[in-house]
Chain A
Amino acid sequence: MRPFTYTRPSTIDGAIAALSQSGAKFLGGGTNLIDLMKMGVEQPASLIDITRLPLSRIEESQGGLRIGATARNSVVAEHPLVREKYPLLSEALLAGASPQLRNMATIGGNLMQRTRCYYFYDPTYPQCNKRVPGSGCAAVAGYNRIHAILGAFAPVREDLQCIATNPGDMGVALMALEAMVAVRGPLGDRSIPIADFYRLPGNAPNLDTNLRPGELIVAVDLPPLDWATGAHYLKIRDRNSYAFALVSVAVVIGLDGNGAIRQARIALGGVAHMPWRVPEAERALIGQTPGEAPFRAAADTLLRGATTYPHNAFKVELARRAVARALTTAASA
């Protein structure tokens, strides 16, 4: 591990100022960043520990909920307000990692976790456009079981291709909850819809998010969800705990008095560089009676344009079935 300095500022503005040194990074729970430093993927010159900043509150706000960026995943998952109003978020958080990791991990850090692409994670592979844009993608012709089937292709310069997936669970739920990410930076505060917080690889696969240099995530805001009658987070993985999703689905559904669908949101994880949502698939569900046919149709729309590689072709059908299952479960709540 390369030597680095460690500071623990006591104010938010102090932290943001500290980030302006070259090679500085914020440190939350460290469950991903420290790993990446040990592997030599990240080599920050200094770490700015933000876990002592006053950013860990969970409180009602504007009819919804505001979750401070340094709140621990385990605390958020078990928080009464989260469990009562946003059980989807609780489900997604508890589906991630292990209890020990959830005790360390923070909400802001979780949003920033990086792909688990094998070739990204090990810098002794010279090809990785996410680590070194222009170096190539080892996964395309390599082992790509966990890789993307959506959003990783056109339009892109072939020499910048990246088929990495966003590994998170919470982000998928936040996508279905239409969360806002509150950030503060050298130029002030702004609030970013989660769909714009994450990005597709495009021509800059090295960038996972649209955060601007120097910005610090201070909170996640969840808008009210009064219309919802059911929600479900379904995570499909190779074992029942401590494994990243092959495919995951977060759904929120609202039925009217007659049992017809008033509104639905569906987000897919494990399939793209960011949680995947297709508004058209959701719109087509409005007014329908829950059932296999409309759910399969929604799944087909979500997966339109999927492109597969030798080891991940199964994800398309798996995602279809998972969407139908998750919607069925949420609709029967």
Chain B
Amino acid sequence: MPSAIGEPLDRVDGRLKVTGRATYTAENNLPNLTYGVLVTSTIAKGRIAVIDTAPARRSPGILAVLTHESHLKLAMSQDDISLDEPADRKLQLLQNDRVLYANQPVGVVVGQTLEEAQEGARLVKIQYSFRTPSVSLENGLASAYIPERVSGGGEPGKSSRGDFDAGLSQAAVRIEQVYTSPFQTHNPMEPHATVAVWDAPDRLTIYDASQGIFGARKRVADLLGLPVENVRVLAPYVGGGFGSKGPTWSHVLLCAMAAREVNRPVKLVLARPQMFGPIGCRTETRQAISLGAKADGSLVALKNDVVTHTSSFDEFAEPASIPSRKLYSVSNNSTLQRLVRSDIGTPSYMRAPGEAPGTFALEVAMDELAYALKMDPVALRLKNYAERDEDSRLPWSGKSLRECYRMGVERFGWTRRSPEPRSMRDGHTLIGWGLGTAMFPAIRMPASARARLNRDGTILVEAGTQEIGGGTYTTMTQIAADGIGVEPSRVVFRLGDTRFPPTPVSGGSMTTASTGSAVYLAGRALRQKILQLATQDRNSPLYGARMDRVNLENGRLSRQDRPGEMETIQTFAGRLNGPYLEAASDASPGQPQRSGSNGEKEFSPYSFGAQFAEVRVDADLGTIQVSRMVGAFGAGRIINAKTARSNLMGGMVWGASFALYEHTVYDERWARIVNNNLAEYHVPVNADIGEIDVLWVDESDDRVDPIGAKGIGEIGITGSVAAVANAVFHATGKRIRDLPITLDKLL
């Protein structure tokens, strides 16, 4: 049967995007539009003693200056709200004079033009009563606490199996080291942006650069006291988010509140420096890992004590310990997560939360162990291969990691590696090869979709999901086409509107498994309706045929009992009584899957991969170039070979970026970020990255969802960080355990 799934279909929205006709949030220039600019705090802790808005109000074109002295009312208190959406954060909405972190919103200035509003914001003069802030993991260790649950999957903050100390005492070789990764900032290319329009005193439309329009709708409705159905959120195109646009942050509410005050639409776009603080970050991590192994390499003890930051007023626990719980077979295992309260904006989900730093520390420690044992790093991993999830005591839903190692080893040429550090050289360039293992959970949440056959034979499929750059318009088009049995070119997929069926946040690599399943099932339901109608329609060649003897494939309706008698879906559609024929479907985890199992409860759903990196390091100057990367993944069914390759490649580049470049630098005296722009917050440029090979195992994990897909948005970052760090050690003989690995650390 011809299948659209798996084909490298070009992006259906590609032409719109490259010609500038895809409308992003900040491009909604509505009639009567005004411009909001945030005023943000320049201290991290204290109170606003005096706020003088008079000069701003007098400035030309200023329509409103909102501060905590404006006494803007919310329908519910921040502190009472039950944060039932996992992505919701406590917001700062001008309710009091407290300053909790640097760059906190403390005012909104609305102007007739952007420039007038910017000037007005500059003229708001604030005197603070300053208290000394804290943003130090080391200083906070003594008062660190163990969270009941870590963020994301909600696993406990502590885990243990067997007896770690007893296990370690049997070890022939031990590795006990501390690994750190710095604060990082998401920095999607498109800044956070909101346009709010009050259609009536109790009806609100919001255009928002959001990864989760339904979460945004609920949050806005709750806080402003509106019925949820009176709030519409639109996000047809989002210019990247990487997790920062998952939660609904303060500026979204402030934009809506400002629009209510001026009774006109308000557009509020964060300036790049304002994206460092109030919209989340990846916390700094400190991971103390202890590994014990027998002389043959088998692990007898594994421990990871993780310390990360949370804010002084909210809790987010970056789940970095998870890989240490699950990746290897080891009977004595202990992990702990502790949180330090710091005077920062609440850390949040950032692409591959937990697994990105977690696989970095664990897989560098495993590399150290391989050297201590004089064992090949691949052989050490295979020696400790986990045949099931020993943490949850469940079988994996599907695991192709052995095959990933094999494919990666072959493509990379790993067997030609000379194991000794500094042994591969080209003039004054040291060459190093490194390995890291990738893993990421296959997450799935309830989603809905609807599919409609129009009388002209076109098909419209809708689900509320978001397109954040991964290719959702295209992959959903393919899935719908296969579900129905038509060519992808016949299908138009629409998303990014809360009037469409509800779907989860575009995060956690879950869009394909969640929304994709709903789209597939809606497609199947429509197919069923079409075939049913056809068999009852005297004008159809399928009339009178049994339902199990008819088929819809490639846009043609046919019957098995009379081969050759068929009609096109276009012909069929032309005879529809109404303007269209519609079907809808909900898809939830825990429903019977294709294999007839209850995926979530009976299996541990994970994806895995093997990452290989080559670096070239100048022996004298310490400059590092990632010259080659190979990633091999077992991530379920791949829906689009082209967008999947791009997505995984982007993840691998991010891994190199995590290892070598990204670093949000705090000046600890004031808990302020000093490199709050894209000139000084470094991500790699083209010149930094060499060849990248992306491979995947032909895997379809039918235990996780009806389409066998597990998600690929994040796994590329996992394992690749360690692969680069381990390659740097192999090149130079210097083991750098504190990221990023910058040239000064190699001198």
Are A118 and B685 touching (Cβ within 8 A)?
Answer: no
B698 at the interface (CB under 8 A from A): no
0/1 string, A125-142, CB within 8 A of B gives 1: 100000000000010011
Are A318 and B688 touching (Cβ within 8 A)?
Answer: no
- For B623, give the chain A residue with the smallest CB separation: A236
Q: Which of B66-74, B115-123, B309-317, B468-476 contacts A (4 or more CB under 8 A)?
A: B115-123
Q: Given A142-B674, A143-B665, A143-B674, does the pair A318, B744 have CB atoms closer than 8 Å?
A: yes
Contacts of B118 in A (CB 8 A): 1
B141 at the interface (CB under 8 A from A): no
**B interface residue count range (under 10 / 10 to 19 / 20 to 34 / 35 or more):** 20 to 34
Q: Given A3-B119, A239-B684, A317-B747, does the pair A325, B669 have CB atoms closer than 8 Å?
A: no
Within the complex, the shortest CB–CB distance from B675 to chain A, in Å, comes to 6
B682 at the interface (CB under 8 A from A): yes
Within the complex, the shortest CB–CB distance from B43 to chain A, in Å, comes to 10
Q: Given A1-B118, A318-B747, A321-B621, does the pair A239, B688 have CB atoms closer than 8 Å?
A: yes
Contacts of A318 in B (CB 8 A): 621-622, 743-744, 747
**Among residues 595 to 627 in chain B, which have CB atoms less than 8 Å away from a CB atom of chain A?**
620-623, 625
Are A142 and B679 touching (Cβ within 8 A)?
Answer: no
- For B115, give the chain A residue with the smallest CB separation: A1
Contacts of B199 in A (CB 8 A): none
Are A239 and B115 touching (Cβ within 8 A)?
Answer: no
Are B667 and A142 touching (Cβ within 8 A)?
Answer: yes
Of B42, B667, B742, which contacts A143 at CB under 8 A? B667
Contacts of B667 in A (CB 8 A): 138, 142-143
- For B674, give the chain A residue with the smallest CB separation: A118
B686 at the interface (CB under 8 A from A): yes
Of B665, B685, B747, which contacts A239 at CB under 8 A? B685
Are B665 and A314 touching (Cβ within 8 A)?
Answer: no
**Among residues 31 to 45 in chain A, which have CB atoms less than 8 Å away from a CB atom of chain B?**
40
A116 to B676, CA, bound (A): 12
Are B674 and A243 touching (Cβ within 8 A)?
Answer: no
Of B122, B672, B742, which contacts A238 at CB under 8 A? B742
- For B746, give the chain A residue with the smallest CB separation: A314
Within the complex, the shortest CB–CB distance from A266 to chain B, in Å, comes to 16
B661 at the interface (CB under 8 A from A): yes
Within the complex, the shortest CB–CB distance from A71 to chain B, in Å, comes to 24
A307 at the interface (CB under 8 A from B): no
Are A242 and B679 touching (Cβ within 8 A)?
Answer: yes
Of A116, A122, A124, A317, which contacts B679 at CB under 8 A? A116
Are A240 and B621 touching (Cβ within 8 A)?
Answer: no
B163 at the interface (CB under 8 A from A): no
B200 at the interface (CB under 8 A from A): no
Are B625 and A240 touching (Cβ within 8 A)?
Answer: yes
Contacts of B679 in A (CB 8 A): 116, 242-244
Within the complex, the shortest CB–CB distance from A172 to chain B, in Å, comes to 17
A138 to B623, CA, bound (A): 29
- For A119, give the chain B residue with the smallest CB separation: B674
Q: Given A239-B684, A243-B682, does the pair A325, B119 have CB atoms closer than 8 Å?
A: no
Contacts of B680 in A (CB 8 A): 116, 118
Of A239, A243, A314, which contacts B744 at CB under 8 A? A314
**Among residues 294 to 341 in chain B, which have CB atoms less than 8 Å away from a CB atom of chain A?**
none
A3 to B625, CA, bound (A): 45
Are A325 and B620 touching (Cβ within 8 A)?
Answer: yes
A324 to B116, CA, bound (A): 53
0/1 string, A229-246, CB within 8 A of B gives 1: 000000010111111101
A223 to B115, CA, bound (A): 46
**Among residues 211 to 269 in chain A, which have CB atoms less than 8 Å away from a CB atom of chain B?**
236, 238-244, 246
- For A325, give the chain B residue with the smallest CB separation: B620
Q: Given A118-B675, A142-B669, A238-B742, does the pair A321, B685 have CB atoms closer than 8 Å?
A: no
- For B619, give the chain A residue with the smallest CB separation: A321
Contacts of B42 in A (CB 8 A): 124
A86 to B672, CA, bound (A): 44
A263 to B680, CA, bound (A): 37
B1 at the interface (CB under 8 A from A): no
B142 at the interface (CB under 8 A from A): no
Contacts of B676 in A (CB 8 A): 122
A324 to B619, CA, bound (A): 13
Are A241 and B685 touching (Cβ within 8 A)?
Answer: yes
Contacts of B273 in A (CB 8 A): 122
Contacts of A143 in B (CB 8 A): 665, 667, 674
Are A314 and B674 touching (Cβ within 8 A)?
Answer: no
A138 to B674, CA, bound (A): 11
Are B682 and A236 touching (Cβ within 8 A)?
Answer: no
B687 at the interface (CB under 8 A from A): yes
A238 to B744, CA, bound (A): 9
Within the complex, the shortest CB–CB distance from B87 to chain A, in Å, comes to 30
Q: Given A240-B687, A314-B747, does the pair A2, B119 have CB atoms closer than 8 Å?
A: yes
Contacts of A141 in B (CB 8 A): 669
Within the complex, the shortest CB–CB distance from B175 to chain A, in Å, comes to 28
A314 to B621, CA, bound (A): 11
A1 to B667, CA, bound (A): 26
Contacts of A67 in B (CB 8 A): none
A142 to B679, CA, bound (A): 19
Contacts of A138 in B (CB 8 A): 667
A238 to B663, CA, bound (A): 11
Of B122, B686, B687, B744, which contacts A40 at CB under 8 A? B122
Are A239 and B682 touching (Cβ within 8 A)?
Answer: yes
A111 at the interface (CB under 8 A from B): no
Interface centre among A125, A239, A322, A324 (most CB of B within 10 A): A239
Within the complex, the shortest CB–CB distance from B663 to chain A, in Å, comes to 9
Are A322 and B688 touching (Cβ within 8 A)?
Answer: no
Within the complex, the shortest CB–CB distance from A76 to chain B, in Å, comes to 21
Contacts of A118 in B (CB 8 A): 674-675, 680
Contacts of A40 in B (CB 8 A): 122
- Top 4 closest A-B pairs, CB basis? A314-B744, A240-B687, A118-B674, A124-B42
Q: Which residues of A contact B (CB under 8 A)?
A: 1-3, 40, 116, 118-119, 122, 124-125, 138, 141-143, 236, 238-244, 246, 314, 317-318, 321-322, 324-325
20 further interface pairs, Cβ-Cβ under 8 Å (given A141-B669, A317-B747): A1-B118, A3-B115, A3-B119, A40-B122, A116-B679, A118-B674, A118-B675, A124-B42, A125-B672, A142-B674, A143-B674, A236-B623, A236-B743, A239-B685, A239-B687, A241-B687, A241-B688, A314-B744, A318-B744, A321-B747
| 26 A–B contacts, CB within 8 A, in A order | A2-B119, A2-B122, A3-B119, A116-B680, A118-B675, A118-B680, A119-B674, A122-B676, A138-B667, A142-B669, A142-B674, A143-B667, A143-B674, A236-B621, A236-B743, A238-B743, A239-B682, A239-B688, A241-B685, A241-B686, A242-B679, A318-B622, A318-B744, A318-B747, A321-B620, A325-B621
